[in-house]
Structure 1
Amino acid sequence: MRGWTSHAAAVDRLVDSFGAVAPGARIRLAKRTSNLFRPRARSDAPGLDVSGLDGVIAIDVASRTADVQGMCTYEDLVDAVLPHGLIPYVVPQLRTITLGGAVTGLGIESTSFRNGLPHESVLEMDVLTGAGEVVTATPDGEHAELFESFPNSYGSLGYATRLRIRLEPVPPYVALRHVRLDAPGAVRAIEQICASGEWEGERVDGLDGTAFSPGEVRLTLARFTEEPGPTSDYTGQAVYYRSVQERGTDRLTMLDYLWRWDTDWFWCSAAFGAQNPWVRRVWPRRWRRSDVYHRLLGVDARLGISRVLDRLRHVTGREKVIQDVEVPVGQLPAFLAWFDENVGMRPVWVCPLRTTRPWPTYPLRPGETYVNVGFWGTVEVPADAAPGAVNRRIEAAVHELGGHKSLYSEAFYDPATFADLYGVATLDAARARYDPDQRLSSLYDKAVGNS
């Protein structure tokens, strides 16, 4: 635990580092790791000093709240609160996602069908603005405008130094049911569970799914439980996503449930051979983590290993297709059918969500059920394919179906479309107040211009 005195000293260092940046120069964080999947323009300018801003400040077990620093990872946050029988309302799937990152960049997980998105359990937050000031934003205070605009702003309005969040009480175990359905059947099940919180008379606390093929969607229904019993371990030789297809029921500890997807980065660890039984036996367990795989991608980008292999295989071109999109639940079958015909990547992750109130910078309709569809990989394209051609088609299809796309990966929207989809008028008004000298890059510059 950091404590309030340590936190105050860390904030002072951050503010001092802001003042040391040359007037007019762009402001950025000196952050060593990232869960973004879009390129960023190189910069030799010094970043802000975020040292000491990566922990839990205080936990109030009685009120079920925690004060957490913006650079604290969900892994460290869960380690601090789970011994008290508490977890954040929404715990994104990957261990090294930070709380500040999930709030300014959105996040989602299996509790989102009842708890919304991570920013919806934030009670207040301290934000370092583009003017170099730290202000406290709450839903109805002096800085309510910043509180409303901050989600999905990706650092274009400032950086959270502290967030006070609500916590949810949980028992030690999670009982799972993996239910096989086709896409229309999955829609009916999702609608029923979101409306009643139950399936076949049994409570559902977490809901997500894996779409393996056009005729096979496995919805995973999680029930949090005190009942003791044997549990599965997917941090060793077994691979979690395969169990979804192989088992009807399962049981995990709460900790292993929260990180069930991280060990193999959903299914993407297969690209590194980490699911091969022989490789897995010698791959250290501590290195079966999403952040390790992410660093391996960085090594490949620098050395060009995959490009060499593609030339040997006579692959003419390849495009990264790493996206999460939200579509209205009734449009899920149509989107999956379009996706199979035009992209052809399986499996894909599906996760229902409902927002609890309107948010101007990510305007989903409150109370309406959406389904997040996540797909992460590459597709072969012709040598003369336009850059981002596949991703552009996905953007158009999602827009046509009344959906929305997360901005953690590459985006290709024109300025007018982007402004309409992501509440840029609201962002511009907030930027005029909190970043009058435009020291921070705009959301469009970040998400599309990769600045």
Structure 2
Amino acid sequence: MCQPEDDITKEHPSPPLPQNWWWNPTSPPRSTKHHARAPFHLMDFLMQYRWLIIIPVVLPLSFLWARLHLARAWIKKRLRGEATHEKHCARIERVQQAVKGHAKGTDGLICTARPSFWSVSTRDSAYKKGARYQVDLSDLADVVDVDLERMVVKMEPYVTMGYLTATLLDMGVCVPIVPEYDDLTVGGLVCGYGIEGSSHKYGFFYDEVTSMEVVIASGEVITATRDNEYSDLFHAIPWSYGAIGMLVGVEMRLIKVKPFMKVTYYPVAGSIEEMTKAWNHFLVPTDKPWAEYVEGLIYSSTRGVIMTADYAEADEVKVSGKVNNMGFWYKPWFHKYVKEEILDKTDDGSPVVEYVPTRAYYHRHTRSLYWEADLLVPMGNHPLFRLALGWLMPPRVSFLKLTMFGKMWKYYNSRFAAQDILVPLHKTAACMELMHDEYDIYPLWLCPHRVFKTRMGTMLDCEKDFDKTPLGPGDTKDAQMFTDLGIWYTPGHILRGEKWDAAEASHKLEQWLIKNHGYQTLYAITELNEADFWRMFDKTLYEKCRKKYDAVGSFMDVYYKIGKKNLSASALSAKS
């Protein structure tokens, strides 16, 4: 006989939530800079009504592509059988043969054959235009092996986060860091930038990698680990964006996970300084263990929500909590749900607890592309739209790029900001104030991050004297705590019909980062010139490995891959 629910609750009462001391709703908002009125431009009209193409064309294409991709992957898997080390090695050998066939100086520089519109980056990858030596890595898209004894997974660079979590979670394991967007690939996250709400414990995505397989300019495949003879290559690959060699395999650590996440929402109100104090408190509490995940959504200069999440067993969920399966197509978009159901409905900032299926939590920002979908499909979060067409979301970034033609792409990037920046934790408030003044974009995403000290000349490292006593919140002798701040939207100045200079705002932000030991992520458009780029990043190990592994003249230099003023591939041989 089933026990009544009331009796279960009495027998297993939920622990009381702590009082929220971070609720000061009387704090005045930070003043906003106002600019001169902007003249009307036809492109504004086209951008405003872009949804007339996105809904009937892009959304169905995105849905069909996703289904065809799944069907194609299933068919290919049936034809070739389960992924094996032998098949993985055969694919690597094909890459090796392609690279060995490259003639330095006459064939142009090597890059992947992946079309630029398939990338999730806001850059147009102009460096690939006219490239004469492209190497196809598209076959390298399998999870090769899951070793539950060693607790590692071996995978290929085109494995996506959506595919990886679907493969691993049924085994009760996952990688420690799962960047939210389904289409992000292992290769991009290792060679570029990959963080999540668990990064305050585990670092970058690549910090949990145990070994890498890299094809260098000679065609040789090298297995690099953190402590073997190729440890310099291991530490140089992150942030190099394929400028040293071609990543063809990754082994990464696994952790045990549970089927649910217990999510606690803490509404916060006050000045930017007060909200960052709350951020520090929930990020690195001194009175209890750190949460597995921490995330902040700041909705204005005075209000936001900080969330913590920990893994939970199904038995705990049955006993003590409500389940929000936010992954269903008819559910509100996550950032809208947090604002409208948590922040807007509180009078005193009381915390709210709920349980979320683990995979739904991992990919909570996918359906709305964080909050970019607010611009792309303005009515997309309406209950009727979600019910009728929500199953078509999200639009694929690659198809969205195809709706931008000619000067439209350039104009779009002058009216839209996509920036992820990394700053020391103690600089968070100052950076938030700068971003408010220059961009006035909300929500503002806060994600914690631990940067591990290397002192090897890696492109990123901790501040020089961070490990001097007293240590900052969350700092240790081996690692420093940082905050990632993310914006992806149209600046408030443009929404108010005012002039706004994207290049000027980006330049001010970049110069501030250089002076304050901050870093700009490289999937976004940058205004950095080459000298300033290498003031922000340390090129010591990067240049050493470029020379040692003969990448110079074979692979494109990282700056000319990511710089806004990048050149065509045919012109890059002199800049390699």
| TM-score normalized with structure 2 length | 0.71
Asked if the contact 1:354/1:370 (under 8 Å) is kept, the reply is: yes
Q: Does 1:258 align with 2:362?
A: yes
Task: Measure, in 1, the Cα distance between the counterparts of 2:446 and 2:432.
Answer: 10
Distance 1:387-1:348 versus aligned 2 partners, 3 A rule:
closer
In the other structure, the counterpart of 1:187 is: 276
Q: Trace 1:200-349 onto structure 2 (pairs within 5 A).
A: 201=288, 204-226=291-313, 227-229=316-318, 230-234=322-326, 235-237=328-330, 238-245=332-339, 246-247=341-342, 248-273=352-377, 274-283=380-389, 285=391, 287-289=392-394, 292-302=395-405, 318-349=414-445
Distance 1:344-1:87 versus aligned 2 partners, 3 A rule:
same
Q: Deviations over 1:108-143 (max 9, x none)?
A: 100001111111111111011233221111112121
Q: Does 1:26 align with 2:124?
A: no
1:154 positional shift? 0.9
- SS across alignment from 2:253: strand
- Paired AA for residue 517 in structure 2: G
1:188 positional shift? 2.9
Q: Trace 1:2-17 onto structure 2 (pairs within 5 A).
A: 2-17=83-98
- SS across alignment from 1:217: strand
Distance 1:397-1:307 versus aligned 2 partners, 3 A rule:
closer
Distance 1:186-1:167 versus aligned 2 partners, 3 A rule:
farther
- Paired AA for residue 447 in structure 2: C
| Runs ≥4 residues deviating over 4 A | 303-308, 380-387
Asked if the contact 2:100/2:217 (under 8 Å) is kept, the reply is: no
* Structure 1 stretch displaced more, 52-61 or 175-184: 175-184
Which of 525, 535, 539 aligns to 1:420? It is 535
Q: Deviations over 1:221-241 (max 9, x none)?
A: 112111234422333231111
In the other structure, the counterpart of 1:37 is: 122
- Paired AA for residue 302 in structure 1: F
- SS across alignment from 1:263: coil
Asked if the contact 2:153/2:253 (under 8 Å) is kept, the reply is: yes
Which of 545, 552, 557 aligns to 1:442? It is 557
Question: Which protein has the larger Cα radius of gyration, Structure 1 or Structure 2?
Answer: 2
Distance 1:368-1:59 versus aligned 2 partners, 3 A rule:
same
Distance 1:162-1:307 versus aligned 2 partners, 3 A rule:
closer
Distance 1:54-1:73 versus aligned 2 partners, 3 A rule:
same
- Paired AA for residue 3 in structure 1: T
Q: Deviations over 1:50-91 (max 9, x none)?
A: 132111110111221111111211211112211111111111
Asked if the contact 2:513/2:536 (under 8 Å) is kept, the reply is: no
Task: Measure, in 2, the Cα distance between the counterparts of 1:447 and 1:335.
Answer: 23
Distance 1:44-1:158 versus aligned 2 partners, 3 A rule:
closer
Asked if the contact 1:115/1:356 (under 8 Å) is kept, the reply is: no
* Structure 1 stretch displaced more, 107-116 or 319-328: 319-328
Distance 1:254-1:141 versus aligned 2 partners, 3 A rule:
same
Q: Which runs of 5+ in 1 are unaligned?
A: 311-316
Q: Of the two structures, which has the highest relative contact order with CA contacts closer than 8 Å and spacing of 6 or more? A: 2
Task: Measure, in 2, the Cα distance between the counterparts of 1:305 and 1:438.
Answer: 34
Task: Measure, in 2, the Cα distance between the counterparts of 1:186 and 1:39.
Answer: 36
Distance 1:61-1:429 versus aligned 2 partners, 3 A rule:
same
Q: Trace 1:42-61 onto structure 2 (pairs within 5 A).
A: 42-61=129-148
Task: Measure, in 2, the Cα distance between the counterparts of 1:133 and 1:444.
Answer: 25
* Structure 1 stretch displaced more, 136-145 or 334-343: 334-343
In the other structure, the counterpart of 1:370 is: 482
Asked if the contact 1:173/1:224 (under 8 Å) is kept, the reply is: yes
Task: Measure, in 1, the Cα distance between the counterparts of 2:110 and 2:284.
Answer: 45
Q: Does 1:88 align with 2:175?
A: yes
Task: Measure, in 1, the Cα distance between the counterparts of 2:150 and 2:212.
Answer: 17
1:303 positional shift? 6.9
Q: Which runs of 5+ in 2 are unaligned?
A: 1-81, 343-351, 464-477, 568-576
Answer 1 or 2: which has greater strand percent: 1
- SS across alignment from 2:403: helix
- Paired AA for residue 353 in structure 2: T
- Give aligned-pair identity as a percent: 21
Distance 1:276-1:307 versus aligned 2 partners, 3 A rule:
farther
1:383 positional shift? 11
- Paired AA for residue 288 in structure 1: M
1:361 positional shift? 0.8
| TM-score normalized with structure 1 length | 0.90
- Paired AA for residue 356 in structure 1: F
- Paired AA for residue 542 in structure 2: L
Distance 1:170-1:185 versus aligned 2 partners, 3 A rule:
farther
Distance 1:204-1:76 versus aligned 2 partners, 3 A rule:
same
Asked if the contact 2:192/2:238 (under 8 Å) is kept, the reply is: yes
Asked if the contact 2:120/2:398 (under 8 Å) is kept, the reply is: no
Distance 1:401-1:421 versus aligned 2 partners, 3 A rule:
closer
Task: Measure, in 1, the Cα distance between the counterparts of 2:433 and 2:228.
Answer: 46
